[in-house]
A and B are shown apart, each in its own frame.
Chain A
Amino acid sequence: MQERLPAPLPSSDQPSRGSRPAEAVPLLAAEELSVERAGRLVLSRLSFTLRPGEVLLVTGRNGAGKSTLIRTLAGLLQPTAGGIRFGLADAETRGVETVHYLGYEDALKPSLTVAENLDFWASMLGGAAERGLPVPEALAAFGIARLVDLRAGYLSAGQKRRVALARLLTVPRPVWLLDEPLIALDSEAQGVLTALMAKHAAQGGAILVASHQPLALPHARIDLAERHAPAPLPEEA
């Protein structure tokens, strides 16, 4: 496996991490997480923590449970056992509200323009108070500012992906859960995304990426296929 740097992240190339206490509160922690899909145990007793500044790459063959893991962390699937803790959750904020989720769908309405789509998600996810980059700037970051008034239905797969990624910039959220974010992107856009991920981590964010492609920034790695072969469910008494 070609990894730029072994896990955990070396502190030498990230000076901002040095000032932080070594035991910073994890933004996201999975504790003995087990998830069942259609009667089959897909994830069993998976534990990890994601601290500010960390990037975690989840690999594994097709069907190893990468998307299941990300959807469970996003609160869209219920774990069979174990728990998920969000460092920034409190009485006012549910944990998943500190999380950006990018699935394999782009969550764009084909009949709305790019700007209308992004404005909607910025309002829906961020409300009036919590705003990140304005929509035009978020689009410009991915080099698609000229598409702002085009209906999303006319975009190519790669352009839609870029718009979906621009959504991450319009609302500030500390944890990014990205399911195959590089898919459909050309090499230029992959470079842009990698740079933005590095920037997000450097600013104290945390990222969990499921991908088949190598990641060109310092990261830790979990291989779901190596961890365990999917086991049959234990017999119920």
Chain B
Amino acid sequence: MSGSGLREAASGSPLAALFRRELRVGRRIGGGAALGVMFFLILVTLVPFGVGPDLNTLSRIGPAILWIAALLATLLGLDRLFAGDRDDGSLDLLLMSRTPAELTVLAKCVAHWLLTGLPLVAASPLFGLMLGMDGRALLQATASLAAGTPALTMLGAIGAALTVGLRKGGLLMAVLILPLCVPVLIFGVSAATAGLGNPVPFLTPFLVECALSLAAVAGAPFAAAAALRAMND
């Protein structure tokens, strides 16, 4: 009785309901995860056409390519994070609800990362292989992406909230947010290339990367929620 009551409360809680709705909508619209991974794949395969098929060069710049591709693929899907809810009137009701807007933002970001960020991380060893990266580089690149992509999603949410009322907000959002992603990129690539022609130990940039993600998860919801309240009129 208490068990089922507890389950009822958990499944009926506003945040759980929002989380489930985001996952459902994300899965049903436009292929969701598959599309982001396709974009990631295309970016990665374009690079050898640009820099030439020299495997030594490719394996040296491979981690940086993976990171830049992941950054762009993450931002690509993020501009619709709040715009869809604004277009159909849901955003008004979400802001009026008892759940604080900060938690609403966080729930949407977690669902978005699970649908887009996590598949990128999962696909990155395979795509790294295509760039001629060796085992250690693959492992480090995947670990640094797993630690760093949450920060990208959270930073992107601020941009998505700031541009929520604009018809063509995607480009402006990228211009606003890409500079903020520079530290994440620097430490991410640094961790991915550690010990491979890069004298720093792996752990130092990796821990900084984790710290950046944690700080973004803690701080970005407040900034994004404030932006949503200000821009939703």
Contact = CB atoms under 8 A, between A and B. Distances in A.
Interface of A: 71, 74-77, 93-94, 96-97, 99, 101, 103-112, 116, 119-121, 123-125, 127-128
B18 interface: yes
B25 A101 contact: no
Nearest to B27: A111
A233 to B, nearest CB: 17
Contacts, number: 83
B203 to A, nearest CB: 42
Given A76-B232, A112-B25, A116-B24, A107 B98 contact: no
Contacts of B21: 109, 112, 116, 120
A26 B16 CA distance: 34
B14 A123 contact: yes
A99 B96 contact: yes
A109 B25 contact: yes
A125 B89 contact: no
B89 A124 contact: no
A105 B20 CA distance: 22
Interface of B: 8-9, 12-14, 16-18, 20-21, 24-25, 28-29, 84, 87-90, 92-99, 232-233
Contacts of A101: 92-93, 96
Nearest to B87: A105
B98 A105 contact: no
Contact of B18 (A104, A108, A120): A120
Contact of A103 (B18, B92, B99): B92
A119 B21 CA distance: 10
Contacts of B28: 111-112
B112 to A, nearest CB: 15
Contacts of B18: 120, 124
B111 to A, nearest CB: 13
Given A112-B24, A116-B24, A105 B13 contact: no
